[in-house]
Amino acid sequence: MSQSKYHHLTAIVLAGGQSTRMGIDKGLMDFNGKPLISHVLEALKPLCSTILISTNKPEYEAFGYPLIADQYQGIGPMGGLHAGLLASKDTDNLLLSCDMPLVNADLLDTLLVHRMNYQAVIPVVNGQSFPICAYYNKSALAILEAEISAGLYKMQLFLKKLHAHELQLDQNVFGQKLFNINTQRDFESLKES
Residue 161 near residue 147, CB atoms below 8 Å: yes
pLDDT, one tens digit per residue, over 123-138 is 999 999 999 999 999 9
Enumerate domains of the chain plus CATH numbers: 9-192 (3.90.550.10)
State residue 175's pLDDT score.
Answer: 74
Question: How do residues 34-48 score in pLDDT, each as one tens digit?
Answer: 999 999 999 999 999
Distance separating alpha carbons of residues 67 and 27, to the nearest angstrom? 14
Instruction: Tell me the mean pLDDT in the region 16-28.
Output: 65
Q: Which of 89, 95, 71, 73 is CA-nearest to residue 162?
A: 95
Which pLDDT band holds residue 182 (cuts at 50, 70, 90)?
Answer: low
Dist. CA 167–CA 160, nearest whole Å: 14
| CB contact set of 125 (below 8 Å; sequence gap of 6+) | 168, 169, 170, 171, 174, 175, 178
pLDDT (0 to 100) of residue 143 = 98
CA distance 162 to 118: 8
Residue 1 has pLDDT above 50, yes or no: no
Residue 189: pLDDT band with limits 50, 70, 90: low
Contact 27, 36 (CB under 8 A): yes
Rg (CA), the chain: 15
| C-beta separation of 161 from 145 below 8 A | no
pLDDT tens string 61-117 = 999 999 999 999 999 999 999 999 999 999 999 999 999 999 999 999 999 999 999
Identify the pLDDT of residue 174: 86
Confidence (pLDDT) at 45: 95
Q: What is the pTM of this model?
A: 0.91
pLDDT higher than threshold 60 for residue 2: no
Helix axes 140-149, 77-87, angle to 10 degrees: 140
Euclidean distance between the first and the last CA atom of the chain, given in angstroms as a whole number: 37
Written as one letter, the residue type at 161 is: K
* Phi–psi pair at 88, nearest 5 degrees: -70, 140
Q: Output the CA–CA distances (angstroms, integers) from residue 147 to 34, 38, 78, in the order listed.
A: 36, 31, 9
| CA neighbor of 8 nearest in space, from 50, 63, 38 | 50
